[in-house]
Amino acid sequence: MPAPGVNHHQHLTEEQLIKACIREDAASQKELFTRYSSRMLGVCYRYARNAADAEDILQDAFIKIFDKLQQFKFEGSFEGWMRRIMVNTALKKYSLTRYEKEVSGIENMAKYESAEDPSAYTHLSQKDLLALINRLPDGYRMIFNLHVIEGYQHEEIAEMLGIQPGTSRSQLVKARTMLQKQIIELQKVAV
């Protein structure tokens, strides 16, 4: 018998915890959320415009995770399986319609200039870089995160968003260009 106030669910293996959640054990569901919510919230922040949106995505995705948990086959990474649900939930929140409206607003950017100083990135903290990424328009930010952070290929991104692979490539170039311009502007201010 565990000592009073000790949560024995903290000592369950991942597989035991998942199986208990499938049986709809509320304490196990709470423990699963506790174990993974902070890491998954980090995923949500990369796609969300603000903290409230990130938390909404997290909540919606965990509802889907608990609903589909019996579909997890214990093959591969459970965290990777959850991450995919988080990303898909975020993509649904920022629908393709919203993405398409955004793309035309920045089409007249100067042609893909490269950063004047490649060392610009080395002076940024991770927090600063994430803040710059979060300033990107939703469509650019999604494609940048999916490709650069999550490691999806352009063909996979195209399928997820219902666009052409070339559009994904083009949007990634534009996202990088915008980030480079933002970094150069920060350097000018810092000097």
Identify which of 37, 29, 26 has the alpha carbon closest to the alpha carbon of residue 86: 37
Q: What is the pLDDT of residues 12-55, one digit of tens each?
A: 899 999 999 999 999 999 999 999 999 999 999 888 888 898 99
Tokens found for residue 113: 């200039």
Spell out the domain ranges in the chain.
1-93, 95-191
Q: How far apart are CA 38 and CA 33, in angstroms?
A: 9
Q: Is the pLDDT of residue 5 over 50?
A: no
Q: How far apart are CA 18 and CA 41, in angstroms?
A: 19
Query: What CATH number labels 1-93?
Result: 1.10.1740.10
Task: Please enumerate in sequence order all residues whose Cβ is within 8 A of that of 112, keeping only pairs 6 or more positions apart, or say none.
Answer: 173, 174, 177
User: Whole-model pTM?
Assistant: 0.68
Q: How far apart are CA 110 and CA 91, in angstroms?
A: 28
Q: Is the pLDDT of residue 116 over 50?
A: no
95-191 placed in CATH 3.40.50.720: no
In sign, the C-alpha dihedral spanning 150, 58, 49, 92 is positive
Q: Is the pLDDT of residue 100 over 90?
A: no
Of 29-33, 73-77, 102-106, the range with the lowest mean pLDDT is: 102-106
Q: Which residue has the higher pLDDT, 101 or 181?
A: 181
